[in-house]
Structure 1
Amino acid sequence: MKTIRVVAAVIRSEDKIFATARGYGEFKGQWEFPGGKIEPEETPQEALVREIQEELDVKVEVGDLIDTIEYDYPSFHLSMDCFWCNVTEGEIKLKEAEDARWLSKDELYSVDWLPADMGLIEKLGGVFG
């Protein structure tokens, strides 16, 4: 099975985290943390800075690794490095997502998360809020 390596940003502002709904593809409308594929010769942190700039038109500071989520989708294996991030420059603009929300700890389960991201939500419950 093919492995796809991606990064995800858990952008935090006060007591909320930022989530987006996919605007395209097989999982359109389902919720995820913004991010994307790691290109050859890129570190996960470099990939995250680039992806967030492309998707949200902001600069982020990449903080600590929260976890690496491993998840088997039907046609590929996903390996997702998830980092705490802070917006350091700009206002968030949705360039690819169809919707976005700032979610408090009590609202984490109010959206339809992608399965891999759900694994991260379960881990965040104990360290967020």
Structure 2
Amino acid sequence: MKSIEVVAAAIYKDGKVLAAQRGYGEFKGGWEFPGGKVEPGESLEEAIVREIQEEMETMIEVGEKIGIVEYDYPNFHLKMHCFWAKVKEGEFKLLEHDEVMWLDKKSIQTLQWLPADVELVEKVAKRLDYHS
């Protein structure tokens, strides 16, 4: 089975975290923490900064690692590294997503998250109070 390594950012402010709705592909319409693939020779932190810049034209500051999720989709194995992050500069432009939402501890559970992100949602919700 093909294996893909990606990074994701739990971008936070004022006790809320950013969720993004995919605008393309097999998982269009599902909600995720934004991010993408790690390029050869790139650190995980460099990858997440680049991905958010490319997808949303926003510069972020990467914080501590939340964790790693490994998930088997039907056609590939996903290894996702998730980090806390905050906006350094820019407004979110939706270049690859249909919508973004700022979610608090209660509303984070109300979205239809992509399967690999579900495990992260719980971890993020528990820590939101510390990252406001």
Residue pairs, 1:82-101, within 5 angstroms: 82-101=82-101
For 2:65 and 2:109, how far apart are their aligned partners in 1?
22
| TM-score w.r.t. length of structure 2 | 0.95
Q: Which residue of 1 aligns with 2:79?
A: 79
Corresponding letter in the other structure for 1:48: I
Q: Which residue of 2 aligns with 1:70?
A: 70
Q: Which residue of 2 aligns with 1:117?
A: 117
Equivalenced residues, count: 129
Corresponding letter in the other structure for 1:7: V
> Which of 22-31 and 86-95 deviates more?
86-95
Residue pairs, 1:4-43, within 5 angstroms: 4-43=4-43
Q: Which residue of 1 aligns with 2:52?
A: 52
Q: Deviations over 1:52-111 (max 9, x none)?
A: 001111101111000011111111110000000011011111111011100011101111
Structure 2 unaligned blocks of 5 or more: none
What's the Cα RMSD here? 0.8
What is the Cα deviation at residue 123 of structure 1? 1.9
Q: Sequence identity, in percent?
A: 55
For 1:104 and 1:123, how far apart are their aligned partners in 2?
13
